[in-house]
Structure 1
């Protein structure tokens, strides 16, 4: 098991909410780097790849239901490049933090993960709250700025500064956030 986990947050999105237009424009800029990062992380023995996604209020939704909803949404072109590989962990979540109401902490502890690479959306919401919950649980945090999407650019930048200053997060890029495979 790896000491690092790449956590992909809320990328299976149907984009049918109030701020979807702004968010979709930001997501369009991260799908390439994020897809490449997922590809590099997938299958490495020293890195765990874990998707955590909002269940969109459907507490009976399966992974397949969440994927289908996103693929049938307004921006399937933003979903397709970052679909989770079949063999990676997938945890539905109910609120902003990937830790809230999920078995994420248990999974990370079982796999002896020490460092989290946080990716996905929304920088100033779900990524920030997940980073705070990771910090209080004593995980090291890396955030590749080219793999997180914002609704409001200024708030996204402020959230990255808060994660760096207040939580000791390393703000990096997709190309630099994983150590080379051994």
Structure 2
């Protein structure tokens, strides 16, 4: 194959003929490209501030508390990847009120219990990325990740192929977890 892309037929840009299976996930490009990322750090631009005003199914909300709520990550690392966050638009963990801190912790515990009951993960990754430099996709609104893990789930796909295979649609995951979440 020679020449610039304009000179080479598009059909020649496919994967090489080999024995490697490829799983294409073009839906991830919107995340990589920054689509739907807030234009600024204000509550008016924040999806985490808008989601609670809508319905739970379209917002992927699994449970609501008084000060915090839990929802599925739209771009999950693993199936069942939840986030727990305050309703209030606050970015820094030390700025949470005592009530928000307490409910965030309690909802994280409940998220783990529900995920264990529904999916039986072997472990969890819990964490917050505080600030854009620390990896927060939406740094202006604090959110705690609750990521279920299974032995061997970090196989060749994410390690080599930079792709994650998810076994269930987000709407189905939301319905299963919401149904299993205990009443407050």
- The normalised TM-score by structure 1 is 0.28
Per chain length, whose mean CA-contact separation is higher, i.e. which structure has more relative contact order (CA < 8 Å, sep 6+)? 1
Structure with the higher fraction of residues in helix conformation: 1
Which one has a bigger Cα radius of gyration? 2
